[in-house]
């Protein structure tokens, strides 16, 4: 009896252990990143004293909740004695200090170059960012910053952040000075003159050696520095904001925005998405704010966010790390860019919308649905062979543009009245009708794929599986069904169907596309039909040898 008892107990223990391992949640990681400018020429009321006091308040808030953050310094702030003194003390608590890669007049002149800016800090892309300088000039800017940083803090920085960093600069920083992490701006179109559109949505990726914004597909083709996406975009609403205009608005975790990061209701719903809803790999967000927004602008929002973050730390739901720690963890775990996802099952603004973003080193896609219909809103492919405009030459415009390879662009190919999308249709007696939903269940499968189980009002079932290389859709329905890719009236689809299995486009002279492994494609003008084979449609997003 005793042996039987122990045998049963061992089996029960193994069963519980297996269940626990199977259901272990993916890590949910927060970086509190505040970056520091010495001056703010855009507003005469924002003095150097106001900027310093903002950082001092941020330090005090971190101390109050015993949290460690990451402060990133522009060169003009780096050489300021009072920032040095404040942050050296904070470093003793474990807070990280790194570099913020906006270029300033003292930085340029210390490198022996000529300053072309309107002010000592000029936010225009051809002056205030490394892309505005020739590659050898960029190296001089890196060298002078790194040596000054080491002179002050006794070591080189491990992390460098910016709204965008070109591949030449990033690789030089890694190879000569050993940086282990970077961060850049969220996806946005035209905001502040900076377009970063179609990239790895949230989380982190290894960039191509030819393009700092483009995820690489191979170890040989990547810069081994993970780039984390900043600011915490609203998964549902950021994408479409400004639709029909050339500049997007901002709906993010940044505490200065009263209807987003400054709203407790929005913040709690955003945190539910990032910290609770299904995901694969890991989920990530960046909290914090640059000092240009001042404590008067951000204080209330940060003081609301911090106790919420603290409660999540105490319950073990999240880990708050420095950017360096997250970068080292990512490099240990992932030899190449992993598949990850972001799910939002609660609408931040009570409109009944829900979404899933899926990323891999080959592509990203987004599905958006409500109580009636579901649509693919975005599909972008990644190709490490495509050089950015800034790899070998400097940018001469006050704008900066990084893009990827569009299969579906629900922002640029839409109008405010008509959305570009891939939608589900049934065909009965030759009549097409969009599928109307009853329910959608989302789950992560073995930490490798995201799966959406969609039940229509007629009880038909459509299962959408998103994996590293493929999008697969299975239908369980008595109806003939298909997917239809369409753009808004007046827009032109920049893609062509070849044969019955290829959909191709071109970016910077490089052809790209998707391959239908199961099913067939047919084009009629600006519309592409994707018809399943035996109720199954499989699209490969990893093929790169188009001609």
Q: C-alpha distances in angstroms, 394 versus 79, 171, 215, 489?
A: 26, 16, 21, 37
- 466 and 335 belong to one structural domain: no
Q: What is the pTM of this model?
A: 0.92
In a domain, 18, yes or no: no
Give a yes or no: residue 339 inside a domain.
yes
The two three-digit tokens of residue 11, written as one number: 């089996």
User: Could you tell me if 340 and 417 lie in one domain?
Assistant: no
Q: Say what the pLDDT of residue 117 is.
A: 95
Residues 418 and 307 in one domain: no
Give the number of domains in the chain. 2
Radius of gyration of the chain, Cα coordinates, nearest whole angstrom: 24
| 203 and 63 within one domain | yes
Residue 195 φ then ψ, to 5°: -110, 115
Same domain, 322 and 428: no
For 546, left (φ over 0), alpha (ψ -120 to 50), or beta? beta
Residues 333 and 474 in one domain: no
End-to-end CA distance of the chain: 72
455 contacts 391 by C-beta, under 8 angstroms: no
202-224 per-position pLDDT tens digit:
999 999 999 999 999 999 999 99
Element (H, E) at 530: strand 527-531
Q: What pLDDT is stored for residue 25 in this prediction?
A: 67
In this prediction, the residues of the chain whose per-residue pLDDT falls under 50 are 1-24
Give yes or no: residues 70 and 216 share one domain.
yes
Q: Of all residues in the chain, what percent are helix, strand and coil, respectively (each to 5)?
A: 25, 30, 40
Domain end residue (candidates: 329, 344, 359): 344
Together in a domain, 231 and 138: yes
What DSSP line would sit under 6-33, residue for residue?
HHHHHHHHHHHHHHHHHTPPPPEEEEEE
In a domain, 2, yes or no: no
Instruction: Give domain status of residue 256, yes or no.
Output: yes
Evaluate whether 94 touches 110 at the Cβ level (below 8 Å). Answer: no
Q: What is the CATH number of the domain that holds 234?
A: 3.20.20.510
Residue that finishes a domain, picked among 319, 344, 369: 344
Residues 170 and 78 in one domain: yes
CATH number at residue 427: 2.70.98.10
**Domain housing 117:** 23-344
pLDDT, tens digit (0-9, with 9 covering 90-100), for 449-486: 999 999 999 999 999 999 999 999 999 998 899 999 99
327, 344, 361: which is the final residue of a domain? 344
Same domain for 188 and 313, yes or no, is yes
Indicate whether 352 belongs to any domain.
Answer: no
Give the Å distances, CA to CA, from 504 to 13, 227, 407. Answer: 53, 28, 8
Whether 398 is in a domain gets the answer no
Distance CA 395, CA 29 (A): 34
pLDDT of 330 reads 98
Q: Both 306 and 435 in a single domain?
A: no
């Amino acid at each position: 009896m005793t042996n039987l008892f122990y045998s049963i107990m061992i089996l029960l223990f193994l069963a519980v252990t297996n269940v626990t391992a199977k259901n272990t949640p993916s890590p949910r990681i927060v970086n509190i990143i505040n970056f520091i400018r010495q001056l703010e020429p855009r507003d005469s009321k924002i003095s150097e004293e106001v900027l310093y006091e903002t950082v001092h308040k941020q330090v005090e808030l971190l101390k109050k909740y015993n949290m460690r953050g990451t402060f990133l310094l522009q060169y003009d702030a780096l050489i300021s004695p009072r920032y040095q003194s404040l942050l050296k003390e904070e470093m003793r608590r474990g807070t990280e200090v790194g570099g913020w890669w906006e270029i300033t007049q003292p930085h340029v002149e210390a490198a022996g170059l000529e300053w072309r800016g309107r002010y000592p800090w000029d936010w225009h892309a051809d002056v205030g960012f490394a892309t505005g300088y020739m590659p050898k000039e960029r190296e001089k800017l890196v060298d002078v910053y790194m040596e000054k940083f080491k002179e002050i803090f006794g070591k080189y920085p491990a992390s460098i952040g910016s709204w965008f960093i070109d591949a030449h600069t990033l690789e030089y920083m890694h190879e000569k000075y050993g940086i282990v992490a970077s961060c850049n701006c969220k996806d946005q179109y035209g905001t502040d003159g900076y377009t970063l559109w179609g990239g790895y949505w949230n989380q982190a990726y290894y960039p191509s050696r030819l393009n700092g914004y483009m995820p690489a597909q191979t170890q040989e083709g990547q810069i081994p520095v993970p780039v984390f996406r900043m600011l915490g975009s609203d998964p549902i609403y950021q994408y479409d904001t400004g639709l029909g205009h050339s500049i997007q608005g901002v709906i993010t975790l940044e505490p200065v925005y009263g209807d987003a990061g400054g709203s407790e209701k929005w913040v709690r719903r955003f945190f539910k998405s990032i910290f609770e809803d299904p995901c694969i790999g890991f989920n990530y967000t960046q909290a914090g704010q640059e000092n240009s927004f001042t404590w008067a602008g951000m204080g209330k929002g940060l003081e609301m966010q911090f106790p919420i973050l603290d409660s999540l730390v105490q319950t073990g739901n999240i880990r708050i790390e420095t950017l360096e720690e997250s970068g080292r963890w990512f490099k240990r775990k992932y030899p190449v860019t992993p598949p990850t996802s972001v799910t939002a099952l609660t609408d931040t603004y009570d409109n009944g919308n829900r979404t899933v973003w899926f990323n891999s080193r080959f592509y990203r896609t987004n599905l958006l649905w409500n109580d009636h219909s579901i649509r693919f809103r975005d599909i972008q492919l990644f190709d490490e062979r495509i050089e950015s405009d800034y790899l070998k030459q400097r940018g001469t415009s006050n704008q900066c543009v990084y893009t990827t390879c569009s299969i579906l662009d629900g922002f640029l190919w839409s109008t405010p009245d008509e959305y570009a999308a891939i939608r589900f249709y049934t065909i009965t007696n030759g009549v097409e009708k969009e599928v109307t939903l009853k329910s959608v269940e989302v789950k992560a499968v073995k930490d490798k794929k995201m799966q959406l189980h969609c039940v229509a009002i007629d009880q038909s079932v459509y299962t959408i599986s998103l994996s590293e290389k493929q999008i697969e859709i299975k239908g369980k329905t008595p109806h003939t069904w298909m997917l239809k890719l369409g753009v808004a009236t007046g827009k032109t689809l920049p893609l062509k169907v070849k044969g019955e299995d290829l959909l191709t486009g071109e970016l910077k002279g490089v052809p790209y596309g998707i391959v239908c492994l199961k099913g067939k494609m047919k084009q009629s003008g600006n519309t592409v039909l994707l018809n399943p084979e035996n109720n199954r449609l499989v699209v490969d997003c990893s093929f790169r040898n188009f001609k």
